[in-house]
Structures are given as C-alpha cells and as structure tokens.
Structure 1
Amino acid sequence: MPDGKIRPQWNRTIAEAVQFMGTEADKKNLYTLIPALRRRTAGLFNVYKGLPKPLYTLFLATVVNSVGIFVFPFLTLYLTGRLGMTQGNAGSFMFLISMVYIPGNFIGGKLADRLGRKKLMVVTQIISAALYIPCGFALFSDYVPWLILASVFFDGLTDPARSAMMMDLTTPENRRTAFSLTYLGHNLGFAVGSLIAGFLFEHASSWLFWGNALAVFAATWIVGMKVPETKPTQQQIDATIGTGSTEEAHTGTLAQALLSRPFLIIFTLLTTWYGFVYAQHRFALPLQAKAVFGATGAAIFGSCMTLNAALVIFLSTPVMALTKRWKPINSVALSGVFFALGFGMIGLAGNIWLLYLSTFIWTLGEIVNATNEGAYVANHTPISHRGRFQAVLPFLGSIGWTISPPVIGKLIDAKSLDAVWPLIGAVAGVSAGLLWLLGKVEDKTLARQSTPMDIRKK
C-alpha cells in the first residue's frame, strides 16, 4: 500500500492555510503558519534523503543541462523561418534526426559496457556541444543542419551511458526515488529553459546554439569533476552469477541476454503502447482544441501544456511518495488507467474546464509512469549488459510513439477526431490490464522458482 503519512501531513497544512486566510490573523498567526508550511514542505522532500551523493550531483547536472535545451524546442521554427525550409522538408529533417540518433544509441550502449560510463559521457557530450558553436556563427548557412545531425549522433552515444550510470548508482530499494529526483530535475530545468529559449529565438538566435553548448559544457564539467566511474568491476559482475537475482550477470550475447528475460521484453512491448497513447498530447490534442474552441484553440492547447508542466513539477514528489511502496509494475499499470481516463474523456470535453480535468488526469499517468517504468527496467537488467539494454529497450519502447501520429492521422482522415479518443482510451486501458496480469504472472513464477522442488511435488 502507499505511504499513508503523506496525505494527513498535507491535509493539516491546507487546513492551517485556509484557517489563516479566512480569519483576521495577527502577526503571531503569520509567524506560526509560515514555519508550519516550511516544515510540511521539508517533510515531503525528505523522501529524497539518503541517496548516494553522486545522485545529487547528477540531479544538479540534469537541471543545468535541461535549462540549456534551447535548440530542439524551436528547431522546426528555425528550419522554416531562418533557413527557409518547407514544412515538408522540415518534417523530413526531423525524421532524419531520429534515424541518426538510433545508430549512435546502439554504438553508445556497447561502448558504455566496454569502456565505462563516465569516460564515454564526458567525451561524447563535449563533442556534441562543440558542434553547436559554429552554428551560432552561421545561422543562415546550409551547413547548420548537418552540424545538428552530427551533434545528435554524439548525443545518442551518450544516453545509454547516462542511463547505465543511474542504474549503477542505485539499488532496487532506492531506484524509484532516484529516478523521480532526476525526472523532477529535468522538468525544473526545461521549464526555465523554454522561457529563455523563446526570448533568444526572437532576439538573439545565435545564443540558442551557444547557450545550449554552454549548458552542456557546464553539466559535463559537473559530472566529470564530481561523479566517479560507476561501471561495475569484473569482480562485482562475477559475484552476481548464480544468485538468481533479476540483475544477475549474463555470460552470453546481447540477444541471449534479452531472451533470458521474457518478462522484461513483454513489459517493454506493452509500455510502447503507452507511447502510442501519450504521443497524442502533441498531435491530436491541439487539433481537438482547435475543432472545439476555434480561434482560441491554440491558446487553450498552450495553457494545457503549461498546466501539464506545472503539475509535473509540483506533483512529482508527492505522487512518488504515495506510490513508493507499490511494486513498480503495479504503478505502471496504474499509470495506464490514468491515461485511459484522461485521454479517453477528451472527446467529451466540451468546455475548457473538462479539458483541464483531462490534462490533470493524464498528467498523473505521466508522472507515475516516469518514476516507475525505468525502475522496473533497471531491476530486470543484467549488471553485465546495462549499457546495451539501455540502447535496445528504449528503441523498442519508442516504436509506439513513432507510429502514433501517422496512424492516428490516417484514422482522422478516414473517420474523424471523434474516433480518436475512444480508441486511445481503449489502448491504454487494455495495456494497463495486461501489465497488471503480467505482474501477477511474474509474482507466481518467482514464487514457484523460489520454492524447493520437493515441496512443489507435494
């Protein structure tokens, strides 16, 4: 069951605040209320205490790096507005970016397991950031897209090492807390960075590239100076063999290691349908807002995205605390229920408040999924293959996200927007149910494997 200490704590805080605002409180009331609110807030963030120190360093590096994500939020506008690409060519370029990222990711996974996490991260991030610098000096050059593609390739090399480092520094007991902290750091940084990027795009476009590069340099320096190499030693890897742990090292090939973990493969294939559903918050949702609200649809869609960002920042910690004692796979199944309800009701949202309610519900699904999916994957990844698994599994998991816009676009052309949301809700609901069943089957399988053979025969 979830941690029951959180809800009463916040109930008392809210009650005190309401009492204060509804009375003619004197200064004494104010001086007692503020410390009470401070204690409640500090108590909530206590869930992040006790993590290994390098994880707090990675949190800081994540915030710094995310603040500097300037280029990609405005890349389509840059390609069409500054370089004069057509929308079709810009779309093709965005697809090409995905294609360049994939081989970088696969190569990076292999190198992370062979050379180490930190060394690979530092070298590839420096190269990736350095490639942005000449872009700022040649904003209207045809060479800029090629430099961006090269930067994306080296960023792809980095990501498996970054994810493997998180696994190395955590245990099954603290992974959800650590992943939640990193998720919070990314969203805090990105929220600030998006505001800065909007200003830079209009008034100082060169600094989109230079600022992004500086942020990556700074984050890389933090990791390089403060985080040790985390790649497990051969002795640590050998020590897991024969333990029966879900993280036990595998001595075979990558394919053999993957096939030896059928629950992880099925889990990944089921959660890719969550990506299929979630992708519609950027594709069909703005179309729905325009269809329902007309000329104000774009602004209303933007306000939904603002609400989503605010909820992610303010609810990540309490949601993680409330689900901390649940098994990761059960929490991931719950996130699918939120997706089913939140996205499934969008077709019924005839006014802005219902649309905000749906955004609130599916954002809860996003938060629960983000803080638990990675933990399940990490807990089932062999210590010997962490880098390579973090190249292959995210690729498999991204298939749903990738195919979602074209599939739903065809559905809208053939039917209408009204056909989208019941389908999306059903996909999320069925996936959630299958994940819950998968968790039950896995529990029974593990219990049977841990039972001595002579007892099983009786």
Structure 2
Amino acid sequence: MKNHFQIYLNAYRGLSQPAWMLSLVMLINRMGAMVIPFLGLYMTEHLHFSLKETGIVLSFFGLGAISGSYIGGRLTDINGHFKIQLLSLCLTVPLFFLLPALKTPLLLSIGIFILSLIAETFRPANSVSIAYYAKPQNLTRALSLNRMALNLGFSIGPAVGGLLAAFSYNWLFYGNGISAALAGFVFYIYFRRREGNQKLIKQNNSQRIQILPLAKSPYKDKAFIIFNILCTFYSICFFQLLSTLPLYYKQEYILEDSAVGIILAFNGLVVFLLEMFLVHIAEKKLTSFQTITLGAALLSISFLLLINSAGVWILFLSMFILSVSEIFVFPFTSTVTLKRAHISNQGAYMGLNGLAFSAAHILSPSIGTQIVSAFGFDILWLSTAVLAFISTIGFYLIRNKFNTPFK
C-alpha cells in the first residue's frame, strides 16, 4: 500500500505552478459543466422533442465543435494561446444565459452551434498552453493533471446538475455561465503576464530548429490523418456517454435525473482518483500506442457489458471500465499529437486532433439515437463495441508509423 501511495505522489512531482493553475481554471470551468450531459434529457423531457430532433440538435453541437477546433488551432498559431483561451471563456458566458430562451429545434440548433464553436476554440489553445508551461519530460502528466481537473469538475457538475434539473432546467445553463465567467477571471489574473518554458526550449534547440525544413501542414501527414480517423471511431463510441447513455438510464432503468447525475459523476470521480496514478505507471511500463490500444479495447468491453444487462451495479461497472479507457486514451493521444508537431504548428496539429473528436460529437448522437429508434439499445451497444474494437486494431497497426516525427 505504501509503495502504491508513493507512486501516486511521484506522479505529481515536477509539475510547474502554471500547470497547476491551468488545471484550476479547468476545474472551475468544468464544475459548471451541467448543460451537455443533460442536454438530451432537457430536450426530450422539458421541450418534448422527438429522439430524431434531439439527435439533430446534438449533432449541431458537434458541427460547432469541429469548426471551433479548426479555427482555434489556426488562431492559436497566429495570436497565441492566451488570447484564444480568454476570449473563448468570456464569450461563452452570455450564450449560456441566452440558451434557455431558445425553445424550437431550429433556434436551439443555432444556439448550440454557436456556443460549441466558441467553446471548442479553447481546446487546441489549452493544449498548446500546457506544452508551453510544462517541462518536456512532464508533458503527458501535465496533460493528465489538466484532464484530472476536468473530470473532477465533471464529477461535481452533473451531480449538482441533476439536483438543479429537478428544480429547473434553466439553472443548468445559468450555472454553466457563472462557472465560465469565474474561470475566465482567474485565468486572466494569473496568466496575463506569465512566462512559460518556451524561451528555454527555443534556446536549447535553436540550432536544431534552424536546420529543420519548414514545418509541413498536418493535413499532409497521412499517418496522422489515419490516427485521427481512429480517434474519431473511438470517440463516436465514447461520446455515447453524453447522448444515448443518459437516455438509456432514464428509459430502460427508469432512473430519476438525480440518479443519472450520480452515475455520470461516477465517471468523473474515477478519472479524478485514478488518472495520474495510472498514467504514471503507463509511462513507465508501456509506450503511448500500447496504452491507447489497451484503452480502446476496454471501451469495447464496457459497452458489451450493457447488452441484456440487469441491475444498476452493471451500469456502474460499465462506467468504471469506460472511465479507465478514457484515462488510457485521451492524455496519450494529445501527447502523440504534440510530439508529432513542429514547435511552430502545434496549434494546427492540436486543431486537427480536435477535429477528430469534434466530428464524433456530430456523428455520435445522430447515429446513436437513430439506431435506438430503429433497433433498440442492445443493438446500439453491440455496434458500439464492434467499432471500438476496430479502433483498437487500427491503433495497434499504425503504431510503427509514429517512430519519427513528420517534418
């Protein structure tokens, strides 16, 4: 037990103060993340949208996300990560307060698209910011710390959101807006004049950078494009967490909103408690691609457990395995992306990687709700498990293409 605790402590050593502050900003922002997990229930239960209409609106969230990832990556390379993160946090605040007034599928689709576009510009800028402030040898752990904060917030947000939804769905939007405003304030106060490690990196690598050819576009990197297609396959499966899984809990298990919130919060709690520990071990024992491949396989298993399931305990077991899968995949895909990029186009690479996950936001709810409508939940879980397994095989086969960076 003492050895395990020591490993857990070692995972936190060497992380810079700015890395911790970026995680604090993420925690504050995600503590108010009440809207997206309950958006499907909000539309079906409160606005009385059909499953098809709900899937369409959720797909507009994905369309905004994919646009925001691309724009955010480009703007980060041009204007820097600080400005993009600050603008993203600040501009989302009024949008959260506006959304409760949008009551039709068309208006809500437009509002969700704009919100998602602006919010998603934050992702590539934030990843580049982590690389800017973290020591190179601590990059994966710094990314994991940021995700740990994200998931701690996600464990709090849905739990609180479930209680607020029982009172009024409007408070989900107001809570999200308030947390975004507070996160933006803390971010500006701490980072407005903060220097990172980039100067040291440039000095240490000045001669190497001078002789490298100009960085090529990630859109010409064939191996990286295949890698991102596999990330999309994985994410289509994973993002059932935000669309069909809450509907499954509600419709098949007849759970209250508060109980749905508890199961979703369990995901964030597991990731918060285990991510740094498991990432630290994975860094020592496995390569990035071995870790990603293991994580994708676990996701397939988590959905297989839901087929013909009986008992709420299965829901928690499936969510636990899904959470471990998330730990093994997301921080390491970001590490692979940042290491693949040239120092001058990290934003573009993170933007393309963000596109992969944003595309899944479009496809996941639309495909998921249509399969449920036509064939039921068991066929959805089987299809999801098969697609996750395909991504597992793909990650394993492409691993050798990433032995050297693309320049």
The equivalent of 1:163 in structure 2 is 127
The equivalent of 1:236 in structure 2 is 202
TM-superposed CA distance for 1:329, in Å, is 1.5
The equivalent of 2:272 in structure 1 is 313
* Secondary structure of residue in 2 paired with 1:371: helix
Corresponding residue to 1:264 among 224, 227, 237:
224
Q: Indicate the structure (1 or 2) with the bigger Cα radius of gyration.
A: 1
Whether the 8 Å CA contact 1:250–1:257 is kept in 2: the answer is no
In the TM superposition, what whole-angstrom CA distance separates every residue of 1:122-168 from its partner, at most 9, and x where no partner exists?
Answer: 234223224445x39x8588898566654443323333222221222
- Distance in 2 of aligned mates of 1:69 and 1:43: 31
* Secondary structure of residue in 2 paired with 1:346: coil
Alpha-carbon distance change, 49 to 76 in structure 1, aligned in 2, over 3 angstroms:
same
* Secondary structure of residue in 2 paired with 1:347: coil
- Number of residues of Structure 1 aligned to a counterpart in Structure 2: 401
Whether the 8 Å CA contact 1:283–1:405 is kept in 2: the answer is yes
The equivalent of 1:4 in structure 2 is none
Under a length normalisation based on structure 1, what TM-score does the superposition of the two structures give? Answer: 0.72
Structure 2 segments unaligned to the other structure (5+ residues)? none
- Quick one: which amino acid aligns to residue 399 of structure 1? A
The equivalent of 1:105 in structure 2 is 69
- Quick one: which amino acid aligns to residue 219 of structure 1? A
- Bigger drift between 49-58 and 157-166 goes to 157-166
- Distance in 2 of aligned mates of 1:45 and 1:51: 12
Question: Are 2:211 and 1:251 aligned?
Answer: no
- Distance in 2 of aligned mates of 1:306 and 1:182: 17
Question: Are 2:59 and 1:95 aligned?
Answer: yes
Question: Are 2:282 and 1:323 aligned?
Answer: yes
Corresponding residue to 1:213 among 173, 177, 199:
177
The equivalent of 2:151 in structure 1 is 187
- Distance in 1 of aligned mates of 2:366 and 2:204: 46
Question: Are 2:3 and 1:9 aligned?
Answer: yes
- Distance in 1 of aligned mates of 2:329 and 2:185: 30
- Bigger drift between 235-244 and 160-169 goes to 235-244
Corresponding residue to 2:12 among 39, 48, 54:
48
Question: Are 2:367 and 1:403 aligned?
Answer: no
TM-superposed CA distance for 1:373, in Å, is 1.6
- Distance in 1 of aligned mates of 2:392 and 2:164: 41
Higher relative contact order (CA 8 A, sep 6+): 2
TM-superposed CA distance for 1:223, in Å, is 1.8
- Quick one: which amino acid aligns to residue 31 of structure 2? V
- Quick one: which amino acid aligns to residue 389 of structure 1? Y
Corresponding residue to 2:91 among 112, 127, 140:
127
- Bigger drift between 211-220 and 113-122 goes to 211-220
Corresponding residue to 2:347 among 381, 387, 393:
387
Alpha-carbon distance change, 184 to 440 in structure 1, aligned in 2, over 3 angstroms:
same
TM-superposed CA distance for 1:213, in Å, is 3.0
* Secondary structure of residue in 1 paired with 2:66: helix
Alpha-carbon distance change, 243 to 104 in structure 1, aligned in 2, over 3 angstroms:
closer
The equivalent of 1:275 in structure 2 is 235
* Secondary structure of residue in 2 paired with 1:119: helix
TM-superposed CA distance for 1:181, in Å, is 0.8
The equivalent of 1:16 in structure 2 is none
Corresponding residue to 1:429 among 389, 393, 398:
389
- Quick one: which amino acid aligns to residue 18 of structure 2? P
Structure 1 segments unaligned to the other structure (5+ residues)? 1-6, 11-39, 450-458
- Bigger drift between 182-191 and 222-231 goes to 222-231
In the TM superposition, what whole-angstrom CA distance separates every residue of 1:354-412 from its partner, at most 9, and x where no partner exists?
Answer: 55433332321122112322111111122111222222222134434533444455556
The equivalent of 1:375 in structure 2 is 335
Question: Are 2:324 and 1:360 aligned?
Answer: no
- Distance in 2 of aligned mates of 1:432 and 1:298: 33
Q: Percent identity?
A: 22
* Secondary structure of residue in 1 paired with 2:15: coil
- Distance in 2 of aligned mates of 1:55 and 1:215: 20
- Quick one: which amino acid aligns to residue 9 of structure 1? N
Whether the 8 Å CA contact 1:118–1:229 is kept in 2: the answer is no
Whether the 8 Å CA contact 2:73–2:351 is kept in 1: the answer is yes
Alpha-carbon distance change, 124 to 322 in structure 1, aligned in 2, over 3 angstroms:
closer
Whether the 8 Å CA contact 1:249–1:383 is kept in 2: the answer is no
The equivalent of 1:223 in structure 2 is 187
